[in-house]
Amino acid sequence: MKFLISAAGTGGHVFPAIEFSKECIAKNNEVIWVGTKAGIENRVLPKKIRLLTIPMSGFRGKNLILKIASLLGLISSTFKSIYYIFSNNIDYVVCFGGYISLPVGLSAWICRKPLFLHEQNAVIGTSNRLLIKFSQLIFLGFPINEPIREDMLLVGNPIQKSKKSSSLEGNQRPLRIYVTGGSQGSEYINQNIPIALNSLELQMEVKHQSGKGKSSGIKELYSSKISAEIRDFYDSPQDLILWSDFVISRAGAISLSETISLNRGSLMIPLPSAIDNHQLLNAINIAELEMGLIHEESELIESLSEKLKNIIETKLYIQWSEAENNIDHFQAARRMLSSILKSQK
């Protein structure tokens, strides 16, 4: 069978789509990918996956002229996607959200090809919502903030399989914390987490991902009691999660899925400008699993320090590591492929 997969722009869409693609290929299916010329998919896509591109960009948050340009791009990209589907004899189309999904999903409907959607976040994104009426199944990465329909299936977010996590109980070493604002970094996290941790006056080890070009001066913000390693980017975030006792991070769907799947909890600081406030909704899901606490940027720095003090003094991070995660994200890709193939029998 031939799968056409669309994902572009950010790792939050691209990385789960890669894991699903690997599952398809492992089961002797062929994968063709539709992305953009400038997106992260150009750098991270496995060589065995053929990349085709369309000239598509986002629509929301732009002025009138750029919105008109995006609309023209949508029309052009839809025609180009139709050509890709017919010329490659595609059997199934799977879209992972984001602006690129709209022309690819529309082309699947026009070509009468089975369309499947995956939503990573706790709120359905704009493109996926527009495509629901044309799709056969919508796979969910997290429970969403609305009633689940019959054509929705909670499977989790496809993530890379990893080593087994170890128990945190009985460790005699200094506390270990992995701090990350994601691949782009976070000014709020970079500037405020060192101050909040310093106020606790405890010996600890910190690995801090600052984001590209943002590491300068951060190490100096940490006190001498904290052994801090600062890097622009870590190649293997799962290794850092396993190394840590808990994580301080934004609330992106994939990073949270990895953290809870590796039996670690998080102090989550949702990005306030996230579209549809999806990061806060993601964080609420994790808090309800009792695998994390939420701190919003609008709160005082003293509140951030108090939450960290509570996590450490009560050893809340050990409770997080022992909490039951009801979604096996490591099996999400397998469940997606199985459901797609069964739906066509």
Q: What is the pLDDT of residues 129-157, one digit of tens each?
A: 999 999 999 999 999 988 889 999 999 99
- Entry pTM: 0.92
Helices 11-26 and 332-343 meet at what angle, rounded to 10?
60
What is the C-alpha to C-alpha distance for residues 47 and 33, in angstroms, rounded to an integer? 11
Residue range 51-62: average pLDDT?
74
Residues 179 and 318 in one domain: yes
Residues 144 and 231 in one domain: no
88, part of any domain: yes
Amino acid at residue number 171: N
174 has a pLDDT exceeding 70: yes
59 has a pLDDT exceeding 70: no
Residues 241 and 305 in one domain: yes
Residues 94 and 133 in one domain: yes
Which pLDDT band holds residue 161 (cuts at 50, 70, 90)? confident
Residues 74 and 179 in one domain: no
Residues 235 and 295 in one domain: yes
What is the C-alpha to C-alpha distance for residues 290 and 284, in angstroms, rounded to an integer? 10
User: What CATH number is associated with residue 275?
Assistant: 3.40.50.2000
Domain range spanning residue 93? 2-156+330-343
Residues 90 and 107 in one domain: yes
Residues 49 and 142 in one domain: yes
pLDDT of residue 9: 86
164 has a pLDDT exceeding 90: no
pLDDT of residue 63: 65
Q: What is the pLDDT of residues 303-338, one digit of tens each?
A: 999 999 999 999 999 999 999 888 999 999 999 999
pLDDT of residue 61: 54
Q: What is the pLDDT of residues 11-37, one digit of tens each?
A: 899 999 999 999 999 999 999 999 999
How many domains does the chain divide into?
2
CB count, 10 Å around CB of 232? Answer: 14
Residues 27 and 138 in one domain: yes
Q: What is the pLDDT of residues 102-128, one digit of tens each?
A: 999 999 999 999 999 999 999 999 999
Residues 310 and 337 in one domain: no
Residues 121 and 6 in one domain: yes
219, part of any domain: yes
